[in-house]
Amino acid sequence: MNTIPQIDVSVLLGGSDHSAYRGVVQAIGAACRDIGFLAVTGAEDAAARMTDMRRVVQAVFEVDDDAKRRQAITPDNYRGYIPLGLFTPNGGSGDADRYEGYKLHAETAADDPVCSQCKLYGRNVWPDHVPDARNVVLGYWVALDRLAGALLGALADHLGLPPDVLRQTFDKPLTNMTLLHYPPQPAGQAGFGIHPHKDTCALTIIAPDPVGGLEVQTRDGDWIEAAAPDGGFIVNIGDMLELWSGGRLVSTPHRVINRSGAERYSFPYFAVPRHDVVVAPLLDPLPGFNRPPVHCGHWSAEIWRTNWPDQHADEKTPELGTLYA
């Protein structure tokens, strides 16, 4: 498959055309087996919130650097502002990625017992110069939670698994979102907005920026643009779903290069299960697919740690090398 298929998923979200359900499940499954990416339409609640989300994301980055850096991330706090060029590809190799970001995690009350079980939980650092950021982002987040749950149910059905076997692992999830700003990349300049990589989550949902720049690697090694119609979303499979499926669903390399000459903004949503979930094949693995189980809390913490340029992956990080380099 050398194109990103477009699929109307409204039937998964309460649409009235129930006769279309089986065909939609089959189309989603085929896309996730062949290229690992699809463009979805019919998620009307999430789509209606895109304009406000884009406004908030732009406002987050429109203040001066000093104001943003006051809310910067630290190695001990996986929330807040990520300065331009701070992160390298996992493992500390390669040029720094050309984006600035703002990291958010599933909002969790400080007194929730789960916070004592895994340090990646807690309250977010909301940008204080954008007063409505919290309400806008959390409203959008809830809509994407619903879309992600519908897609997980459809994929379980496609794989012949019980309908809730995937969704039930997302109680108290480590789902997270990164607000992103990519400055224009000068013509001829080497490097990437975000280097070629595979996502390590279960699945990712992205509202594509109109300026473009998100590219997907096909099975034959070519790079194609990932686009969706107005009001649509790009969805891609991550390493965790590939592992759950025993290699049937594919986690595909992708990258961002902003050659548009315009500012590019994005706000990907990464669906990650609860911290104590161990992801292992739920079906007999395909021939040649041999990957060890992944502990979600440990893996998430290691991915965060190894983003820092002075940190490196080690033998305690199983399969972190599935990130494409």
Q: What is the pLDDT of residues 84-132, one digit of tens each?
A: 888 765 544 557 789 999 999 999 999 999 999 999 999 999 998 999 9
- Write the pLDDT tens digit of every residue in 308-322: 777 777 776 655 545
Q: Minimum mean pLDDT among 58-62, 243-247, 317-321: which range?
A: 317-321
Would you say residue 244 lies in a domain?
Answer: yes
What is the number of other CB atoms lying within 10 angstroms of the CB of residue 178? 16
Would you say residue 314 lies in a domain?
Answer: yes
Would you say residue 73 lies in a domain?
Answer: yes
Largest CA distance in the chain: 55
Of the pLDDT bands very low, low, confident and very high (cuts 50, 70, 90), residue 142 is: very high
Listed in sequence order, the residues at least 6 apart from 188 whose beta carbon sits closer than 8 Å to its beta carbon are none
CATH number at residue 262: 2.60.120.330
Return the structure tokens found at 283: 């079906």
Length of the chain equals 325
The answer to whether the beta carbons of residues 133 and 56 sit under 8 Å apart is yes
- 251, with CB counted inside 10 A (0-12, 13-18, 19+), is buried
The answer to whether the beta carbons of residues 228 and 39 sit under 8 Å apart is yes
Alpha helices in 260-295, H assignment, sequence order:
none
- Write the pLDDT tens digit of every residue in 200-236: 999 999 998 999 999 999 988 899 999 999 999 999 9
The answer to whether the beta carbons of residues 39 and 231 sit under 8 Å apart is no
Residue 39 sits in which domain range? 6-322
Average pLDDT value for the chain: 91
In whole angstroms, what is the distance from residue 46 CA to residue 285 CA? 34
Of the pLDDT bands very low, low, confident and very high (cuts 50, 70, 90), residue 178 is: very high
Would you say residue 1 lies in a domain?
Answer: no
Would you say residue 109 lies in a domain?
Answer: yes
Provide the pLDDT for residue 219: 87
* Cα–Cα–Cα angle for 4, 42, 224, rounded to 5 degrees: 15
Return the structure tokens found at 252: 């595909």
Would you say residue 239 lies in a domain?
Answer: yes
Would you say residue 275 lies in a domain?
Answer: yes
Would you say residue 214 lies in a domain?
Answer: yes
Residue that is written with structure tokens 């619903």 in the block: 146
| Residue 323 clears pLDDT 50, i.e. is over it | no
Number of domains present in the structure of the chain: 1
- Write the pLDDT tens digit of every residue in 248-267: 999 999 999 998 899 999 99
Provide the pLDDT for residue 185: 86
Return the structure tokens found at 322: 């599935």
